[in-house]
């Protein structure tokens, strides 16, 4: 049997009239923000990227996986940083994504 949570509601006033609301029970849906259903993130082609690689090696492999497209590589790394649960992967992917976004901006202006 699923655990039930009691949702407490507050009494409030509307147009001078006091509205009394009752609390109610709802099934527990797990930790807030965590959905155990179908995964929505589709990474497309794998990056071949590992957080424990050297910076130069990581960036070279990531860029090669996206046919040397700076913007596509930056977006793929940013998506990875947004969905990963590993703190080190999140930090490394975010720094690499920022690096590629900066390069894209620089070369776009030229």
Q: How do residues 16-44 score in pLDDT, each as one tens digit?
A: 999 998 899 988 877 666 656 555 667 67
Q: What is the pLDDT of residues 39-84, one digit of tens each?
A: 566 767 788 888 889 999 999 999 999 999 999 999 999 999 988 8
Q: Is the pTM of this model over 0.85?
A: no
Which of 12-16's residues contact partners 24+ apart within 8 Å by CB, and which partners? none
Q: What is the pLDDT of residues 82-98, one digit of tens each?
A: 888 889 999 999 999 99
| Residue 40: C-alpha distances to residues 36, 37, 44, 83, 86 (Å) | 11, 9, 12, 10, 18
**109 SS3 class:** helix
What confidence score (pLDDT) does residue 75 get?
Answer: 93
Q: Which of the four pLDDT bands, split at 50, 70 and 90, describes residue 100? A: very high
Q: Where are the domains of the chain?
A: 55-109
φ, ψ at 69 (rounded to 5°): -95, 110
Token representation of residue 16: 């001078």
Q: How far apart are the C-alpha atoms of 66 and 72, rounded to whole Å?
A: 6
Mean pLDDT score of the chain, rounded to an integer?
A: 86
């Amino acid at each position: 049997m699923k655990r039930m949570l009691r949702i407490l509601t507050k009494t409030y006033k509307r147009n001078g009239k006091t509205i009394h609301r009752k609390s109610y029970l709802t099934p527990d849906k797990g930790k807030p923000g965590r959905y155990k259903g179908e995964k929505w993130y589709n990474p497309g082609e794998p990056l071949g990227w590992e957080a424990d690689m050297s910076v130069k090696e990581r960036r070279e492999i990531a860029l090669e996986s996206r046919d040397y497209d700076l913007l596509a590589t930056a977006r793929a790394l940013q998506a990875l940083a947004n969905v990963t649960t590993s703190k080190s992967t999140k930090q490394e992917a975010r720094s690499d994504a920022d690096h590629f976004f900066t390069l894209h901006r620089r070369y776009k202006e030229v």
